[in-house]
Amino acid sequence: MSEGISPTAMRTLNPSEQTPQETYKLLVGSVVPRPIAFVSSMDAQGVRNLAPFSFFTVASANPPIVCFCPMVRGANNNNLQSTKDTLRNIIATREFVVNIVSEEFAAQMNACSADLPPDVDEFEVSGLTPLDSELVRPPRVAESYIQMECRLEQIVHVSTESLGGSLVLGEILRFHVREALLDNFRIDPDKLHAIGRMAGSTYARTTDRFEMERPK
């Protein structure tokens, strides 16, 4: 904290008076920790893609729907297309897999966050193992303890501007969960070792937890 600033002082910020990059920093620093959707997809020609997305959550349990938000790349994108390969693949095939990220393969996940050309297979780049899905064409990540085969439900294109995004909703057709994690459909967090995204290059573990009962 800067010297002389009261710890209770508030600063009001107007997004319309800021750059998109400044607003992005506020968002990713405030909405934390964020779970990571490690999404495997495939284009119409069968080229595999694997990419992490930290704008990710659950939208419905009946039917089971998860959602994540691919963002539009900024201006300096090394001449790559502004939309993510993942989004283009899902539009073309309407299928994807969400793999939950555990700390054991965090470095390999991070390798897949690089901006790579569409014809590059991130499974090969990262050394992660593709595993055949049951109902969709994109493979699962064998190293992931929880994998969700999804069929596209809906895409909401929120903004096509730089750092804008699209909301991708997918219905889960199959859950694949390591047996050791399951107890009456409950997932043991001590065995999952899930990680979350903070701002910048910072990640969070999920080992420091506390409980509160919901009021009745």
Where do the structural domains in the chain lie, given as residue ranges? 32-205
- What does pLDDT average to over the chain? 94
pLDDT of residue 143 exceeding 60:
yes
Taking domain 32-205, whether its CATH number is 3.40.718.10 is answered by no
Give the per-residue pLDDT at 81: 55
Each residue's pLDDT tens digit, 69-117: 999 976 544 444 577 899 999 999 999 999 999 999 999 999 999 989 9
What's residue 2's pLDDT? 63
- The mean pLDDT of 143-169, rounded to a whole number, is 96
SS3 track for the chain: CCCCCCCCCCCCCCHHHCCHHHHHHHHHHHCCCEECEEEEEECCCCCEEEEEECCEEEEEECCEEEEECCECCCCCCCCCCCCCHHHHHHHHHCEEEEEECEHHHHHHHHHCCCCCCCCCCHHHHHCCCEECCCCCCCCEECCCCEEEEEEEEEEEECCCCCCCEEEEEEEEEEEEECHHHEECCEECHHHHCEEEECCCCCEEECCCCCCCCCCC
pLDDT reading at 1 higher than 80: no
